[in-house]
Amino acid sequence: LRKASKRLTCHKRYKIQKKIREHHRKVRKEAKKRGHKKPKKDPGIPSAAPFKEELLREAEQRKQRLEELKQKQKLNRQKEHEKKRKLEAKKNAAKITEKDGKVCESSGKSKAMAKKLPDKNSKKSFCRELNKVIEASDVVLEVLDARDPMGCRCPQLEQAVTCSGDKKLLLVLNKVDLVPKENLEKWLNYLNKEFPTVAFKSATLMKDKTMFTKRRARVDLSRTTECFGSKCLLRVLQEYVKTQNKAIQVGVVGFPNVGKSSIINSLKGVRACNVGLARGVTKSVQIVHVDKQTKMLDSPSIIADPTNSSLALALRSIIDTEKSDSAEVLEGADAILNHCNKQQVMIRYTMPDFRNTEEFLTLLAQKRGVLKKGGVPDVENIAKLLLCDWTGAKVSYHTQPPESPRPPPYLTEDKIAEMRDCFNLKKLEEENTTTVQAVKSPSPSSSIIFQSDGMTNGTIEEHKVIEEASEWENLETSKEEEEEEDFTESDDQDEDEEEEDVEEVTRKAKPGKRQTSPTNSEKQRAESEHSNSLSISLDKTADEDDAYDFNTDYV
pLDDT, one tens digit per residue, over 147-188 is 999 989 898 888 888 888 788 899 999 988 899 999 999 999
Residue 61 above 90 pLDDT? yes
| pLDDT for res 536 | 39
So what's the architecture of 123-205+224-305+409-446 in CATH? 3-Layer(aba) Sandwich (3.40)
| pLDDT for res 55 | 87
Angstrom distances, CA of residue 300 to CA of 210, 251, 253, 279: 23, 11, 8, 10
Beta carbons of 139 and 237 less than 8 angstroms apart: yes
Length of the chain equals 555
Q: pTM score > 0.85 for this model?
A: no
Cα-Cα-Cα-Cα dihedral sign, residues 82, 84, 89, 93? positive
Domains 123-205+224-305+409-446 and 310-391 share a fold: no
Beta carbons of 330 and 283 less than 8 angstroms apart: no
| pLDDT for res 464 | 66
For 310-391, give the CATH class.
mainly alpha
- What is the SS3 assignment for 136? helix
Element containing residue 540 per DSSP (H, E): helix 522-546
In the chain, where the domains are located: 123-205+224-305+409-446, 310-391
Q: What is the pLDDT of residues 251-308, one digit of tens each?
A: 999 888 888 888 888 888 887 777 766 676 777 788 888 888 888 888 888 888 888 8
Strands 168-174 and 139-145: parallel
pLDDT band at 499 (very low <50, low <70, confident <90, very high): low
Residue 506 above 50 pLDDT? no
Alpha carbon 345 to chain centroid, angstroms? 25
